[in-house]
Structure 1
C-alpha cells in the first residue's frame, strides 16, 4: 500500500509539473516572439508569422533593428523618463498609502469608515471622466522652483507623478493586510510606550513585505504603461515616457522590426523590477514569523 501511495503521489507531482510547464510556455511565447522578431528584417518578420519560424532565430538575424530604433527616436531618454517617473511615484505611493491605511486600520476617528468607503468607491471611476478637469487644474497650479514662482505644471515630471501618488487600490490592499495583523502586537507596543509613528515604522511596516511587493508591482505596471495622461500633458520630447515614444515608429513607414526592438528594450525594466519584487516577496514571507 505504501508503494502504491508513493507512486500516486509521484504521478500527481509529475502531472502538476507538466501543467505548470505548459502554462509557463504559454506565457513565454509572446516574449519569445518579440525578441526573435526584433532580430529579423520587417519583410522576413511578416513572412515568419505564418509558421513556427516566428519563435526561432532563423534567417537573416542581426541587431540592425536596435540601432535603427535608437536612430529613429531617443529610446534611452524615454526609458529614463519612464523609470524616473515610475520609481518616484511608486516610492511616494507606498509611503503615503501605507500611512493612510495605518490610520484606517488601527486608529479610531469620526468618519473613518465612511471615508474609506469613498476611497474604495473611486476604483469604479474611469480616468477618462476626470482627465479634462484634471488637465485644467494642473495647467493653472502654481509651483515654486529654481526659477521662482511659476504657473502651470505642463511639460514637467511632477505633472506625471503627483496626480498618481495616492489611489484607492493601494490603500485598500494595505488596509486589508494591516487588519489581518495580530492586534496583540499593537497593544503590546502601546503598553511599552511606543508612539503611533514608532508602531508604524518599527512594528507594522517590517511585517508588510508581501503587501509592499504586491502594491509596488501593480503600481509599477500602471505607471510604466501610462499613455493617455502623458500624451495630454507632455508635448516636449525631453519629458515623454516610453509608451508615448512608441508612436515615433508608426510615423511615415511602419517599421515592425524596429517596433519589436523598441518593445524588447522597454520590457527589460519591467522584468527586472518584477524579479526584484518577487525576490523581496519571497524573502519577506520567509522572514515573517507572525501568527494570529
Structure 2
C-alpha cells in the first residue's frame, strides 16, 4: 500500500490534485493532505483523506506531516522571495521521512528562463537533485486561468493589454496540470524525469480573438513597450515593485520562455489537454 502526500492541499492546485488521485481510485486514507490550516481541509477529512498540519516555514511541522509518506507532491509555494528556504525545508523533511519519490511543480523551461519566477525554481530543482531523492520535475506552463480570471476586465475595456510582443504562451487549465501531477505520482516506472508541460500555445492576439468569438464582444490585443506597461500598471494602483515584476513576466514571454513544442502534458494525461477556447467558454459561463 502506497501513501501519497500533497502539500498546499487546500490551494487551487493542490486540492485538484487530491481530487485527481481519488478519481483515479486511490483509497482516501492513503492520501495525506498537508496544509497550513487543517480547519480549511474539513471537507477533505470528511471524504476520508488524512489531513496533517505542515507549514513550509516550520521545518519541525513537516517532519510529522511527512511521516510514513511514500510519494510526495511538493506544490511550489506562493510567497515569492521566500520559496527557496521554504522548499528546502520540505526536501529535508522528505529525506528524513524516507520518501521514495518527490514530484515538484516547477516552471516551464526553468533551467533557461529569464522569468523573474525562474531563479527560485532553479534553486529548488538543484536542492532536490542534491538531496538524492528519486524525483520528477513538472515544469508547468501558464494556467489559462491567469488570463480568464480577468475576463470581466477584458470585456469592460475591450482590450487585452500586455507587453509580450505576441510571444507564444504554452498553457493549460489548472485541472490539467493537477491531473498530470497525479499521474506522475501514480506512475509505475521508477525513473526520474523532467517534463516540460503545456498544451495549446497561444498569443495575446489569439486570446483576444477567442474572447471575441466566445462572448460576442469585440476585444483586441494592445501590445505596448515594457516601460509603458509598467507605468500603466502603476497607474492602475500597483506598487512599483509589483508593476515591474508583472512587466518582467511579459518580457519573459516575449523572449519565448513560455513556449514549447513538447507533448509531455498530453503524454502524462493520456489525452489531449484542454483548449484555450474551452477555458474562455467556462469562464464566460461562470461569470
TM-score class normalised by the smaller sequence: under 0.3
The structure where helix makes up a greater share of residues is 1
Tell me which of the two structures has the higher relative contact order, counting C-alpha pairs closer than 8 angstroms and 6 or more residues apart: 1
**TM-score, structure 2 normalization:** 0.23
